[in-house]
Amino acid sequence: MSKVKTGMGRRSFIRNVSLASGGLIIGFSWLGCKRAAEEGTEEMALEMPDEWFELTGYLKIGDNGIVTIYSPNPEIGQNVKTSMPMLVAEELDVDWNNVIVEQAPLNTDVFTRQLAGGSQSIRQGWEPLRMAGATARQMLLTAAANQWEVPISELSADKGIINHTGSDRSIGYGEIAKAAAKIEVPEEVVLKENSKFKIIGTSRKNVDAKEIVTGQPLYGLDVQLDGMLIAMIVQPPAFGMELKSMDADEVKGMPGIKDVFTIDTYPEDMEKEWSDTTSFPKLVVVVGDSTWQVMQAKKALKIEWDLNTELTKQIEILEKSAGLSGSGGLENTDVHYSLMAEVGPKKSEMVRRDGNPESAFKNAARVIERSYSCPFLAHNCMEPMNFFANVTNGKAELLGPIQTPEFAEKSVSKRLGMDLEDIDIQMTRMGGGFGRRLYGHFLVEAAVISQKMGAPIKLVYTREDDMTNGVYRPAYQVTYRAALDGNNNLTAFHVNAGGISESPLFANRFPAGAIDNYLAESWAIESNISIGAFRAPRSNFIAGAEQSFLDELAEEMGKDPIQFRLDMLKRAENDPVGEENDYDPARYAGVLKMVRDKAGWDNNSSTLNRGVAAYYCHNSYVAQVLDISLKNNDPVIDKVTCAVDCGIVVNPDAAINMVEGGTIDGIGHALYSEITFKDGATQQNNFDSYRLIRHEEAPKKIEAHFVDNGIDPTGLGEPPFPPVQGALANALYKATGERFYKQPFITQLRNAGGDLKT
């Protein structure tokens, strides 16, 4: 067990007695905790007390023994709304069936990080939420000890009941809650030893599961309020274009249409938040009574578009300097790839250099060089972008799915000229995020439209609006070089990585630290196309490319792929090169050893088409072995074996779901997905042209195994996604005899012939 400072005096540790329920409310400031926490909370059972308090994060105990925990952070399907309350309930020693979870609204006065992203929820909430539960438990025990006039050391608690070892006396939390509210907040509390956990480490069902499967209103698209109008946007048809003129007279007379106008989401003089990313701030808006009426009006609008000369000029210059024939600054996918191959590496900047890589390459007996690339990707959340807004009388009420409500509130404040206290953002559960809802321009758009209309509106993006709006996963390219001496030993390693319009490079990750002579270079190419975080940002490409190259390098050196990696990690552990390496070689090697054992690698690798990959990101380590076969040149993924080191697993079933989902997602995007451009316009605008993995194409079996090391939890939502792409490429090589360097891989398989699905 460990003692932790509560970090809360009476001013920061807000508590009160609910007059309606006679219960104890224990609030805690996430700022006062060791780490700035993030999510979570829970549900179930009886009735909540009538009154509750808006705090940064808190638990509430009613006089009936029911505990309510309010979740301050967004839920995007990562199941933190279940797992985070488990941390509180564990230390509180309450019956899990008596826990209720509710989503808290945005409150920037008390929360410091109301954000869903980066796989940090459990990691950052681990100590603060446990501390909150332990603090409440200590106050309840103290109140009982005072009432019975016995030492607190003679008391114990279990499932919401306090027992006295020296007598038959017992009392429920609800009965003592009012008295506990008068107890001084302890300076420090003792947290449980891991071996004493009763809830943490056990599987608990998603607290919203019933509402989800029965279609209850949980999502932004479900919002229906009296008097609410529907708004939709019309955006330029290509990146680099803008509105020239519009004739809306006929459309305004269509049934149900209330108005048609233009908005500027982000005027030039507005100071933007980082989350205010968009390629199309100037939009046409159609507002009407129903979705169908507005969609028909959109189609009937007469709009002329023109080039935005300022946006397209820099692209023209770039193309001409590369000796390429572009299209007046309207971007094309073939030009993108030409620029990344020819121009990008020439713009490289050195990020890390160990030893003397130039000399090692000059004196090498052999140099192996390979390049890898990937296309833009759309996030394609199943729930398109949407938000409800009601801006009237100097107040703004907003409700919907957003990963960054705190940043969005600041943007609305600046855009509408309102004080933060006049803006109320409520969060719904999200039908997918994957990083797309980090960028809240659609929320700001909804607020501007409502203010213009003076009425409540729900802004809804069609699938076509969503897929062609930008904020894509960037297109990337990376070139690896390896120098081998006359004895086939690796003497130098060089990575040169970039993209449109950011680089995927992580210069201090493996194999940095394992090679004497190492060089990492980075570059980026300008673009009019807006980019943003995509599940496991940057890692989602560089991991697969790196692991593919390491496999090919191992083959050239005549080594087993797993043993080759383990040998390098051993060097990084025992005699590391450099001091900036951001991974733990022992933990990295641990998942490789586990997956080797669980997959039976040594026994079956010669008879199966299988590939291996391992990667570190978001503070966690994942290794995967993928088995594949081909049917008429169509990939059939028979099995994926996963080994994961994410520290303590709070909710095993939920963790398995995360690993399975991330694995399938990674395979699907590497095999099938891409956004391409012709004259600045996307060539895919719905699922008939944008390829996602289908049910029948998912792995037939996925096994998830977790390292049990007692380390505090780390990330899990993103780490399984990147490495499986490398395992897939390596398995495809075994099945086809060809290496795969360019995503989506299905294109190469299709070009090889066979009856492939499109």
What three-state secondary structure class fits 191?
Answer: strand
Question: From the CB of residue 577, how many other CB atoms can be counted at a distance below 10 Å?
Answer: 17
Q: Is 211 left (phi over 0), alpha (psi -120 to 50) or beta?
A: alpha
Q: Which residues contact 554 (CB under 8 A, 6 or more apart)?
A: 560, 561, 564, 565
Q: 5: which 2 tokens? A: 């400072």
Question: Which whole-number Å values give the CA distances from 668 to 177, 260, 269, 469, 746, in the listed order?
Answer: 51, 40, 42, 22, 10
Q: What is the pLDDT of residue 10?
A: 35
**Contact 257/297 with Cβ under 8 angstroms?**
yes
Residue ranges and CATH numbers for the domains of the chain are 2-212 (3.30.365.10), 220-308+380-467 (3.30.365.10), 558-751 (3.30.365.10)
**Contact 224/111 with Cβ under 8 angstroms?**
no
List strands edge to edge, sheet with 161-164: 155-158, 161-164, 170-172
What three-state secondary structure class fits 132?
Answer: helix
φ, ψ for residue 494, nearest 5 deg: -135, 130
- Three-class HEC string of 100-114: EEEECCCCCCCCCCC
**Sign of the C-alpha dihedral computed for residues 246, 251, 257 and 259 taken in this order:** positive
Residue type present at position 327:
S
Question: Which whole-number Å values give the CA distances from 608 to 48, 557, 632, 745, in the listed order?
Answer: 56, 21, 18, 20
- Three-class HEC string of 471-527: CEECEEEEEEEEEECCCCCEEEEEEEEEEECCCCCCCCCCCCCCCCEEEEEEEEECC
Could you tell me how many residues make up the chain?
A: 758
Burial of 427-464, coded b for 16+ CB within 10 Å and e otherwise, reads bbbbbbbbbbbbbbbbbbbbbbbbbbbebbbbbbbbee
Q: What is the pTM of this model?
A: 0.91
Question: Which whole-number Å values give the CA distances from 750 to 331, 672, 747, in the listed order?
Answer: 26, 11, 5
Helix/strand/coil percentages in the chain, nearest 5: 35, 25, 40
Beta strand segments in 582-717, E: 610-617, 620-631, 634-645, 677-678, 681-682, 702-706
Question: Which whole-number Å values give the CA distances from 588 to 517, 570, 643, 659, in the listed order?
Answer: 21, 10, 10, 17
From the list 172, 176, 168, the residue with the least C-alpha distance to 158 is 172
Residue type present at position 243:
L
pLDDT per residue as tens digits for the range 349-400: 999 999 999 999 999 999 999 999 999 999 999 999 999 999 998 999 999 9
CA 500 to mean position of chain CA atoms: 21
**Contact 474/499 with Cβ under 8 angstroms?**
yes
First-to-last alpha carbon distance for the chain, in angstroms, is 56
List strands edge to edge, sheet with 229-234: 257-264, 282-288, 229-234, 457-460, 386-392, 395-400, 423-427
pLDDT below 50 — which residues of the chain?
8-23, 26-45, 48-57, 754-758
Q: What is the pLDDT of residue 79?
A: 87
Partnered with residue 500 across adjacent β-strands are 475, 525
Q: Which residues contact 501 (CB under 8 A, 6 or more apart)?
A: 474, 524, 525, 526, 527, 529, 531
Long-range contacts of 318-323 (CB under 8 A, 24+ apart): 318/343, 318/525, 318/526
CA distance 388 to 400: 6
pLDDT per residue as tens digits for the range 127-166: 888 888 898 899 999 999 999 999 999 999 999 999 999 8
**CA diameter of the chain:** 90
From the list 356, 755, 746, 730, the residue with the least C-alpha distance to 517 is 356
CA 333 to mean position of chain CA atoms: 27
Q: 644: which 2 tokens? A: 């994961």
